[in-house]
Amino acid sequence: QVRVKSEHAMGYIKGRFCSLRGLRQQIDDSVDHERALAWVKTCVVIHTLV
Protein backbone atom coordinates (compact mmCIF):
# COMPACT_ATOMS: atom_id res chain seq x y z
CA GLN A 1 0.00 0.00 0.00
CA VAL A 2 2.83 2.39 0.67
CA ARG A 3 4.18 1.82 -2.82
CA VAL A 4 0.78 2.54 -4.38
CA LYS A 5 0.53 5.82 -2.50
CA SER A 6 4.07 6.70 -3.49
CA GLU A 7 3.33 5.96 -7.17
CA HIS A 8 0.18 8.09 -7.01
CA ALA A 9 2.07 10.96 -5.40
CA MET A 10 4.77 10.87 -8.07
CA GLY A 11 2.11 10.72 -10.79
CA TYR A 12 0.43 13.79 -9.31
CA ILE A 13 3.70 15.72 -9.09
CA LYS A 14 4.65 14.69 -12.64
CA GLY A 15 1.26 15.89 -13.84
CA ARG A 16 1.79 19.23 -12.16
CA PHE A 17 5.38 19.75 -13.35
CA CYS A 18 6.01 18.95 -17.01
CA SER A 19 9.75 19.16 -16.45
CA LEU A 20 9.62 15.99 -14.35
CA ARG A 21 7.85 14.08 -17.11
CA GLY A 22 10.73 14.90 -19.41
CA LEU A 23 13.41 14.25 -16.80
CA ARG A 24 15.50 11.66 -18.57
CA GLN A 25 18.71 11.73 -16.64
CA GLN A 26 21.04 8.77 -16.68
CA ILE A 27 22.02 8.05 -13.09
CA ASP A 28 25.55 6.70 -13.17
CA ASP A 29 26.89 7.85 -9.83
CA SER A 30 25.92 9.52 -6.58
CA VAL A 31 26.28 13.01 -8.08
CA ASP A 32 23.67 12.23 -10.76
CA HIS A 33 21.40 10.72 -8.11
CA GLU A 34 21.68 13.81 -5.91
CA ARG A 35 20.98 16.09 -8.89
CA ALA A 36 17.80 14.21 -9.82
CA LEU A 37 16.70 14.09 -6.19
CA ALA A 38 17.27 17.84 -5.81
CA TRP A 39 15.12 18.50 -8.89
CA VAL A 40 12.23 16.43 -7.50
CA LYS A 41 12.57 18.08 -4.06
CA THR A 42 12.53 21.52 -5.68
CA CYS A 43 9.31 20.72 -7.52
CA VAL A 44 7.70 19.45 -4.32
CA VAL A 45 8.67 22.63 -2.46
CA ILE A 46 7.31 24.82 -5.26
CA HIS A 47 4.09 22.79 -5.23
CA THR A 48 3.79 23.32 -1.48
CA LEU A 49 4.30 27.07 -1.81
CA VAL A 50 1.87 27.50 -4.69
Q: What percent of the chain has pLDDT over 90?
A: 0
At 9, which helix (H) or strand (E)?
A: helix 2-16
Residue 28: pLDDT band with limits 50, 70, 90 = confident
> Closest Cα to residue 38, out of 20, 16, 26?
20
Is residue 23 a contact partner of residue 39, using CB atoms and an 8 Å limit? yes
Is the confidence at residue 4, as pLDDT, over 80?
A: yes
CA 44 to chain centre: 8
User: Which structural domain, as residue segments, surrounds residue 30?
Assistant: 2-49
Is residue 49 a contact partner of residue 42, using CB atoms and an 8 Å limit? no
Mean pLDDT, rounded, of the chain: 83
Q: What is the pTM of this model?
A: 0.62
Residue 27: pLDDT band with limits 50, 70, 90 = confident
User: pLDDT, tens digit, for every residue of 11-26?
Assistant: 888 888 877 777 777 7
Count the domains in the chain: 1
